[in-house]
């Protein structure tokens, strides 16, 4: 059936219009809490609503928001850009809350909203299970609850956490994800437990957004060094909206140091570069491409893997202009892999397509 597929879009974003939209999906106590405490919005400054990156002008609705309903997304992503399947990664800020109970409740409501308002309305849509990483047990509960619905194809966490994701306190999440054949999706964004850079709070949003790649580097290092892939050999990780061109240089440095300092983490039994090529995938938007297509081709060479890139439009984020969703310079021979094959190999629950 593969040849019938045109594209699998691995990163698109439905937007919650406001907390009212989640009310039907919350338990009674939490509905009352939202109303009584005036909790109107969980939008985060990881994507300031008005910032150009957050949405192209022509995709914004009357309230300035994009992708608040199915047709807004599917006409662009599926119809215009030929995605047979699109994976919804909802970034509503439930992960910033400090109360573990509130976070878990709102996350349940959010995942149910995605299922009812999106997945139920268009068979081309799939989604990630947003996880309340504030509490590992609650996160595992949420995986068990949502995994029954096979339209959930991944579990989702944000790139900037309170502690690095490789830490053992998170391992029950990876056990559950591995058990269900769900990759761990790490998406750009922050729980805002720390400043957006390790040296403090930048003055400008451009800097905050640039800083996302630093988080991804630290997360990959953590997952490898803590032995997550040794412990959970079936686990795959997808880096969503991380950029692409940062990866080779990072792996060179990381692998070089591993060769000398290996005995500190002896369960890392082969080069980090090999482990990453086996277990980690990256979506292609943003690519952070050089202007010269020849350099793009060289940069792809540096990745040393045909299997690592996954197509994504990152709709409605504004990463490219027009329909130029595949950066110029990617060898034609890789297109099909990026558009379809690599996603099918990564997401167990898409294999039946």
Q: Is residue 120 near another protein by the rule CB under 8 A? A: no
- Name all contacts of 329-338 with Cβ < 8 Å and 24+ positions apart: 329/289, 329/292, 329/293, 329/294, 329/295, 329/296, 329/297, 329/300, 330/296, 330/297, 330/300, 331/297, 331/300, 334/300, 334/306, 334/309, 337/306, 337/307, 337/309, 338/284, 338/309, 338/310, 338/311
Q: Tokens at residue 338, please?
A: 């990026």
Closest CA to 305 of 269, 279, 267: 279
Q: How far is the CB of 189 from another protein (least distance, A)?
A: 11
Q: How far is the CB of 128 from another protein (least distance, A)?
A: 19
Q: CB-wise, 23 or 205, nearer to another protein?
A: 205
Instruction: Give the position of tokens 């109970």.
Output: 101
Q: Is residue 196 near another protein by the rule CB under 8 A? A: yes
Q: Which stretch binds another protein (CB under 8 A): 30-38, 59-67, 134-142, 189-197?
A: 189-197
Q: Which stretch binds another protein (CB under 8 A): 7-15, 28-36, 109-117, 207-215?
A: 207-215
Q: CB-wise, 49 or 202, nearer to another protein?
A: 202
Q: Is residue 231 near another protein by the rule CB under 8 A? A: yes
Q: Which residues in the 43-72 window bind another protein by CB under 8 A?
A: 51-53
Q: How far is the CB of 154 from another protein (least distance, A)?
A: 20
Q: Pick the binder of another protein from 31, 205, 278, 349 (CB under 8 A).
A: 205
The whole-angstrom separation of Cα 189 and Cα 208 is 10
The whole-angstrom separation of Cα 154 and Cα 347 is 8
- Tell me the three-class secondary structure of 242-304, residue by residue: CCCCCHHHHHHHHHHHHHHHHHHCCCCCCCHHHHHHHHEEEECCCCCCCCCHHHHHHHHHHHC
Q: Is residue 6 near another protein by the rule CB under 8 A? A: no
Q: CB-wise, 32 or 206, nearer to another protein?
A: 206
Phi, psi of 254 (to 5 degrees): -60, -50
Q: Is residue 167 near another protein by the rule CB under 8 A? A: yes
Q: Is residue 20 near another protein by the rule CB under 8 A? A: no
Closest CA to 51 of 285, 209, 224: 209
Q: CB-wise, 29 or 201, nearer to another protein?
A: 201
Q: Which residues in the 289-348 window bind another protein by CB under 8 A?
A: 289-291, 295, 298, 301-302, 304, 318-319
Q: Is residue 198 near another protein by the rule CB under 8 A? A: yes
Q: CB-wise, 123 or 260, nearer to another protein?
A: 260
Q: Pick the binder of another protein from 27, 256, 328, 351 (CB under 8 A).
A: 256
């Amino acid at each position: 059936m593969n040849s019938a597929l045109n594209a699998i879009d691995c990163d698109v974003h439905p937007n919650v219009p406001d907390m009212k939209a989640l009310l039907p999906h919350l338990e009674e106590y939490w509905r009352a809490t939202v109303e009584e405490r005036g909790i109107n919005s969980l939008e985060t400054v990881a994507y300031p609503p008005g910032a150009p990156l957050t949405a192209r002008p022509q995709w914004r609705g009357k309230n300035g928001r994009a992708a608040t309903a199915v047709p807004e997304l599917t006409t662009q992503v599926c119809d215009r850009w030929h995605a047979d399947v699109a994976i919804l990664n909802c970034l509503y800020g439930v992960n910033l809350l400090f109360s573990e109970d509130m976070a878990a409740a709102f996350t349940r409501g959010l995942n149910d909203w995605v299922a009812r308002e999106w997945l139920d309305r268009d068979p081309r849509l799939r989604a990630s299970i947003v996880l309340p990483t504030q509490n590992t047990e609650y996160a595992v509960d949420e995986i068990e609850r949502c995994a029954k619905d096979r339209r959930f194809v991944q579990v989702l966490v944000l790139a900037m956490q309170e502690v690095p994701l490789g830490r053992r306190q998170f391992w029950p999440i990876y056990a559950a994800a591995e058990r269900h054949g769900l990759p761990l999706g790490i998406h750009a964004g922050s729980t805002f437990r720390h400043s957006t850079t390790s040296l403090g709070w930048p003055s400008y949003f451009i800097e905050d957004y640039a800083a996302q790649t630093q988080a991804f580097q630290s997360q990959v290092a953590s997952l490898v060094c803590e032995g997550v892939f040794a412990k959970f050999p079936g686990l795959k990780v997808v880096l969503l909206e991380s950029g692409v061109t940062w990866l080779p240089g990072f792996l060179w440095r990381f692998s070089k140091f591993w060769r000398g300092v290996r005995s500190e983490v002896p369960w890392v039994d082969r080069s980090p570069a090999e482990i990453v090529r086996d277990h980690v995938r990256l979506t292609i938007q943003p690519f952070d491409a050089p202007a010269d297509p020849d350099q793009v081709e060289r940069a792809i060479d540096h990745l040393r893997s045909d299997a690592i890139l996954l197509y994504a439009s990152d709709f409605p984020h504004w990463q490219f202009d027009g329909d130029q969703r595949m950066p110029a310079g990617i060898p034609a021979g890789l297109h099909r892999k990026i558009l379809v094959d690599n996603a099918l190999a990564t997401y167990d629950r898409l294999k039946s397509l």
